[in-house]
Chain A
Amino acid sequence: MSESSVGELPARRPSRQLATHQENLSVDSSCFSSPPVNFLQELPSYRSATRRRTTVLARDKQSSILLKPSDSYSSQREGEITENLNTQSIRKYALNISEKRRLRDIQETQMQYLSEWDQWKRYSSKSWKRFLEKAHEMTDHLELWRKDIRSIEGKFGTGIRSYFSFLRFLVLLNSVIFLIIFTLVLLPVLLTKYKVTNSTFVLIPFNDIDMECTVYPVSSSGLIYFYSYAIDLLSGTGFLEGTSLFYGHYTIDGVKFQNFTYDLPLAYLISTIAYLALSLLWIVKRSVEGFKINLIRSEEHFQSYCNKIFAGWDFCITSHSTASLRHSSLRYELRADLEEERIRQKIAERTSEETIRIYSLRLVLNGLVLAVLSVCFYAIYVATTFSQEHMKKEIDKMVFGENLVISYLPSIVITLANFITPIIFSKIIRYEDYSPGFEVRLTILRCVFMRLATICVLVFTLGSKITSCGDDACELCGYNQKLYPCWETQVGQEMYKLMVFDFIIIMAVTLFVDFPRKLLVTYCSSSKLIQCWGQQEFAIPDNVLGIVYGQTICWIGAFFSPLLPAVATLKFIIIFYVKKLSLLYTCRPSPRQFRASNSNFFFLLVLLIGLCLAVIPLTISMSRIPSSKACGPFTNFNTTWDVIPKMVSTFPSSLQSLVRAITSEAFAVPFFMIICLIMFYFIALAGAHKRVVDQLREQLSLEGRDKRYLIQKLTEAQRDMRSQPL
């Protein structure tokens, strides 16, 4: 069935053979399904494709030279060089360096025949490109943790490397968010406080609101216990409460500089909107790459065989152990894919009664999953309520540590739920009879939803407590001012506690579980139980969920606690080093390796889900819950969002009417309809393109068959001609 292996096939490697090879018509009689390769190499299509990729240098140096970069598809007349060639494209030629040098010399002599204007254009574009390259090279040096990530890639492959580059991305994102908040909110306050510039605070003008709403009792106990500082640091109360860490510190209406007054409430709101928009744009920009590839592929599922065979080996692996691991993981993956194919075929052949049974079973099991989720959410609700009610007890009436446990109770319950539910989910999904790949993805999706929804439940519980005052509906101030005189600060404190606890748990798990496990496995190798348990595997999905959880907390909390992104940046930096140490010293790579492309898309998708889930409580608290009247920059406004209408009312009247028109229904409904029409147009266009692609593919395979048939006839005719007596 294979084609002829003729003694010496004409090796058509044009870049190194200088001579064009003569046709070798040695013919093999045993090929019926595929023609001899040498025949195919004579076809004009093959020759022009090869010429397109590399240069064919004629033996005779004086004759014309055909030159093309490997990606230029413009048609070429022999002996001409297009005007579009410049130095940049020399690199793209598949030639060795001496041939490229010759090519460049030829180009430069050819340049002399161009007009002055073209020469200058070419020269300036070259120097601009060179400048860009040098700038790029210099910024590459500044890339954070470049060497660390490279060494991880060499030892563990690209899947785990993508986790660490994701962590680096989050560090950068958080530092930029902090920069935004710093310049818009903190900087004017700090400049005035430390008398750097000659500016003063503009205090909030006295308004006729009920005096009761503005009472903000500063909690001060007579005796300061020695451990109260530690407790305050961990739970954000006490001495931390009035600092610039929390919202309550910014009880200022503005900052008066020499020429203008800086409107602080507006700046605060705009910084929130800015950091949310920036996060969204940056994540979408990063995920566009992976998404484009997703859109190109038509019907193959994500892990195609071509991808695994041709791009399956990570060429950057340098250590023997990683290489053997890669071999075994490839073996595992390819076998698993074929297995999945077989299962999919089996699923397609299911009878209808089997299908009904499976679907009803799945319905029951999904109901079970929902039940588990609601139990967890209810537990969090109860824990938060309990914690909020008992946190206000006086410090000297409590046993040491009880205060800490009560204030951390929601965090503890959330962490416990996040440990238990993945185990339950992975047990449940075994009965649902999905293909293995889909099982993994669905479990991960459920865990993601579980983890991120717990934060939302916590925030909503807090919100409901803030807006409920016993039986009546909080008419006095709009919120429960007895328990929450400055509710934004208290929400900020909860977010701060969540973040600190998350950090403590990650460190504790690494120090007290991973390292001892490794020590046990190394030194107690006699015990079979311990050997079965084995070393830790670096589980990518769990680790990614952990840091996305931290980032979601940061997004929600940054409004209530402006310094929280800085805390998050520090936390992620420390986690990077801790995880790197843990990876290098305690982990063995798992046989199931995550692919880089799959990972990048998955990480950014989860992060996007986190962002969407973070926006919901923020918008509700900004627009529904009245801002606290005792602290913060929004005491004069009903809700936080009211700053915007007030700002709009200061615009000139034409602009005002424009803004009003854009936000009215008369504009929104037609706009929405036009967007829908445009979307339908593009969907129809994509469908039409797909049909054309399918037709062309079919045509291509028919042409290929014709070609083989004709070549077969030709070889038979030649054979007959040869065998005829002369």
Chain B
Amino acid sequence: MGQCLRYQMHWEDLEEYQALTFLTRNEILCIHDTFLKLCPVGKCYKEATLTMEQISSLPALRVNPFRDRICKVFSHNDVFSFEDVLGMASVFSEQACPSLKIEYAFRIYDFNENGFIDEEDLQKIVLRLLDNDDVSEDLMMDLIHHVLRESDLDNDNMLSFSEFEHAMAKSPDFMTSFRIHFWGC
């Protein structure tokens, strides 16, 4: 855990990041500070990368049951550049629009990455949510059956993106719970 070169962010970069993401000035600067603390010695923040383990151990993510999926979805080639971290924070910020959150939520919940949330994915989601392995078969089947009954409109036992979008648009808690405050300042 070394210190990067104390590279102050240029004003133009800050403006550009503000224009391209949903983050505020303070949030970008705080993420910049956190990134600098974690990245290896001697590199400027624009070239440094963080591993998925380092991101998973951030306070904002370390108790999240979906942190591996989050890291997988937002990283490139299994590492995080500064802009990847900004992109992740932007999606999870309070000001982000619902369509963006729904898009990334779909990718996070699609464990096998086949473009659909099928029963296998739902099983994994339920196991992660309940955090124990002795969930009875009946309970699991019941839950999956209820979820599919509510949101699977074409009865193919899978949720396509539009079905997921439709279900999340009706869900009152989605916007408030799909939020992470990355900045700890």
B44-55 CB contact bits vs A (8 Å, 1 = yes)?
A: 000000000000
Interface with A: B3-11, B32-40, B61-69, which one?
B61-69
Q: Contacts A310-B105, A313-B65 known; A597 to B173 CB distance under 8 Å?
A: yes
In the complex where A37-B115, A311-B177 touch, is A70 in contact with B130 (Cβ < 8 A)? no
Would you call A335 and B139 a contact (CB within 8 A)? yes
Tell whether A91 pairs with B59 under 8 Å between CB atoms, given A16-B76, A70-B103: no
A319 to B113, CA, bound (A): 29
Set B97, B113, B147: member contacting A309, Cβ < 8 A: B147
Q: In chain B, residues 1-47, which have Cβ atoms closer than 8 Å to a Cβ of chain A?
A: 16-17, 19-22, 24-25
> Which residues on A sit within 8 Å (CB–CB) of B76?
16, 96
Q: Which 8 A-B pairs have the closest CB atoms?
A: A704-B154, A597-B172, A323-B63, A71-B99, A97-B83, A327-B131, A311-B173, A311-B174
Stretch touching chain B among A7-15, A184-192, A392-400, A649-657: A7-15
| A40 close to chain B: CB less than 8 A | yes
> How many angstroms from the CA of A595 to the CA of B172 in the assembled complex?
10
**Which listed residue, B83, B150, B179, touches A304 by the CB 8 Å rule?**
B150
**Range of interface residues on A (Cβ < 8 Å):** 35 or more
Cα A302 to Cα B180 in complex, Å, equals: 25
Chain B nearest CB from A177 CB (Å) reads 28
A interface SS class: helix
- A35 cross-chain contacts in B, Cβ below 8 A: 156
Assess A338 versus B143: contact at CB under 8 Å? Given A71-B97, A96-B84: yes
1/0 per residue, CB under 8 A from B, across A347-381: the answer is: 00000000000000000000000000000000000
Nearest Cβ in chain B — how far from A15, in angstroms? 9
CA distance A130 to B20 in the complex (A): 12
Q: Assuming A297-B170, A316-B177, A701-B153, what are 20 further A-B pairs, CB within 8 angstroms?
A: A1-B157, A11-B113, A16-B76, A34-B156, A34-B158, A50-B161, A70-B99, A94-B104, A96-B84, A137-B24, A140-B24, A304-B170, A306-B147, A306-B150, A307-B174, A311-B168, A322-B63, A335-B139, A338-B142, A700-B153
Q: Are A92 and B97 in contact (CB under 8 A)?
A: yes
Which bracket fits the contact residues of B? 35 or more
Contacts of A9 in B (CB 8 A): 112-114
Contact of B177 among A2, A87, A312 (CB under 8 A): A312
A335 to B64, CA, bound (A): 22
| Residues in chain B near residue A704, CB distance under 8 A | 153-156
Which residues of B, 92-138, contact A by the 8 Å Cβ criterion? 92, 96-97, 99-100, 103-105, 107, 109, 112-116, 118-120, 122, 125-126, 129-132
CB of B157 to closest CB in A, whole Å: 6
Asked if A703 lies at the interface with its beta carbon under 8 angstroms from chain B, I say yes
B71 surroundings in chain A (CB, below 8 A): none
Q: In the assembled complex, which residues on chain A have CB atoms less than 8 Å from the CB atom of B130?
A: 327, 330-331, 334
Do A334 and B143 touch across chains, with their CB atoms under 8 A apart? yes
Nearest chain A residue, comparing its CB with the CB of B26:
A137
Rounded to whole angstroms, the CA-CA distance of A20 and B115 in the bound complex is 14
A124 within 8 A of partner (CB): no
Asked whether, in the complex, the Cβ of A311 is within 8 Å of the Cβ of B171, the reply is yes
Given A597-B176, A700-B153 in contact, is the A94-B170 Cβ separation under 8 Å?
Answer: no
Docked-complex contact B118 and A3, CB < 8 angstroms: yes
Which residues of A are found within 8 Å of B168, using beta-carbon distances? 306, 310-311
Q: How far is the CB of A543 from chain B (nearest CB, A)?
A: 20
Give the residue name and chain of the B residue nearest to A322 (CB).
Answer: B63
Q: Are A158 and B176 in contact (CB under 8 A)?
A: yes
Q: Which of A98-106, A577-585, A624-632, A665-673 contacts B (4 or more CB under 8 A)?
A: A98-106
Chain A-chain B contacts (Cβ-Cβ < 8 Å), number: 208
- A37 vs B177: C-alpha distance in the bound complex, in angstroms? 30
Residue among B146, B147, B164, B173 facing the most chain A CB atoms (10 A cut-off): B173
Task: Name the one of A2, A41, A101, A140 contacting B120, with C-beta atoms under 8 angstroms.
Answer: A2
Q: Say if the beta carbon of A471 comes within 8 Å of chain B.
A: no
Name 29 interchain pairs, CB-CB below 8 A, sorted by A. A1-B119, A9-B112, A41-B114, A50-B161, A53-B103, A91-B20, A92-B97, A92-B100, A96-B83, A96-B84, A101-B20, A293-B170, A296-B170, A300-B150, A304-B170, A306-B168, A307-B170, A307-B171, A310-B125, A313-B66, A313-B177, A315-B177, A318-B59, A323-B64, A327-B65, A327-B131, A334-B130, A595-B173, A700-B153
- A423 CB, min distance to chain B CBs, angstroms: 31
Residues of A within 8 A of B160 (CB): 46, 49
- Residues of chain A within 8 A (CB-CB) of B25 are 137
- A34 and B152 CA atoms in complex are apart in Å by 13
Q: How far is the CA of A715 from the CA of B87 in the complex (A)?
A: 41
Is A344 in contact with chain B by the CB < 8 A criterion?
A: no
Q: Name the residue among A296, A302, A310 with the largest chain B CB count within 10 angstroms.
A: A310
Q: Which residues on B sit within 8 Å (CB–CB) of A311?
A: 168, 171, 173-174, 177-178
**Contact, CB under 8 Å: A97 / B24:** no
Determine if B180 and A70 form an interchain contact, defined as CB atoms under 8 angstroms apart: no
Q: Report the minimum CB–CB distance from A602 to chain B (whole Å).
A: 12
CB distance from A274 to the nearest CB of B (A): 32
Contacting residues, chain A, for B119 (C-beta < 8 A): 1-2
Question: Known interface pairs A94-B100, A701-B154. Does A310 touch B171 (Cβ–Cβ under 8 Å)?
Answer: yes
Q: With A11-B113, A309-B129, A311-B173 known to touch, is A70 a contact of B100 (CB < 8 Å)?
A: yes
B57 within 8 A of A: no
Shortest CB-to-CB span from B106 to chain A, Å, is 9
Which of B77-91 touch A at CB < 8 Å?
83-84, 86-87, 90
- The reply to whether the CB of A320 lies closer than 8 angstroms to some CB of chain B is yes
Q: A317 — nearest CB in chain B belongs to which residue?
A: B63
- CB nearest neighbor in A for B19: A87
Question: Across the interface, which residues of A come within 8 angstroms of B161, CB to CB?
Answer: 49-50, 53
In whole angstroms, what is the CA distance A238 to B16 when docked?
A: 65
Q: Is A541 part of the binding interface, using a Cβ–Cβ cutoff of 8 Å?
A: no
- Please tell me if A242 contacts chain B, counting CB pairs below 8 Å: no
Q: Are A309 and B20 in contact (CB under 8 A)?
A: no
Tell me the bound Cα distance from A71 to B179 in angstroms: 20
- Contact of B177 with A158 in the complex, beta carbons under 8 Å: yes
Closest to B119 in A: A2
Contacts of B112 in A (CB 8 A): 5, 9
Question: Inside 8 A of A331's CB, which chain B residues have their CB?
Answer: 130, 132
Task: Indicate if the CB atoms of A97 and B86 lie closer than 8 Å.
Answer: yes
CB-CB < 8 A to B178: which residues of A? 311, 315
Say yes or no: A314 contacts B150, CB within 8 Å. Answer: no
Looking across the interface, which residue of chain A has its beta carbon closest to that of B113?
A11
A705 within 8 A of B: yes
Residues of B within 8 A of A619 (CB): none
Q: Please give me the residue from chain A that is nearest to B166 by CB atom.
A: A306
Pair B179/A316 contact, Cβ less than 8 Å: yes
Closest to A3 in B: B118
A12-B115, A97-B20, A104-B20 are known contacts. Are A305 and B147 too (CB-CB below 8 A)? yes
Q: If A304-B150, A313-B66 touch, does A13 touch B107 (CB 8 Å cutoff)?
A: yes
**A316 in contact with B180 (CB, 8 Å):** yes
Pick from B122, B129, B151: contact of A327, CB below 8 A: B129
Report the separation of the CA atoms of residues A665 and B148 in the bound assembly, to the nearest whole angstrom. 55
* List of A residues within 8 angstroms of B97 by Cβ: 71, 91-92
A314–B116 touching, CB < 8 Å: no
Instruction: Tell me which of A33, A100, A150, A335 contacts B157 (CB under 8 A).
Output: A33
Q: Is the CB of B143 within 8 A of A305?
A: yes
Nearest chain-A residue to B164 (Cβ)?
Answer: A310
* B172 touching A290, Cβ below 8 Å: yes
A90 part of interface (Cβ distance < 8 Å): yes
On whether the beta carbons of A596 and B173 are closer than 8 Å, the reply is yes
Specify which chain A residues have a CB less than 8 angstroms from the CB of B107 in the assembled complex: 13
A37, B21: Cβ atoms closer than 8 Å? no
Interface check A708, CB cutoff 8 A = yes
Residues of A within 8 A of B132 (CB): 327, 331
Closest to B153 in A: A700
List the B side residues contacting A307 at CB < 8 Å. Answer: 170-174
Residues of B within 8 A of A5 (CB): 112
Given contacts A91-B90, A338-B142, contact A701 B176 (CB under 8 A): no
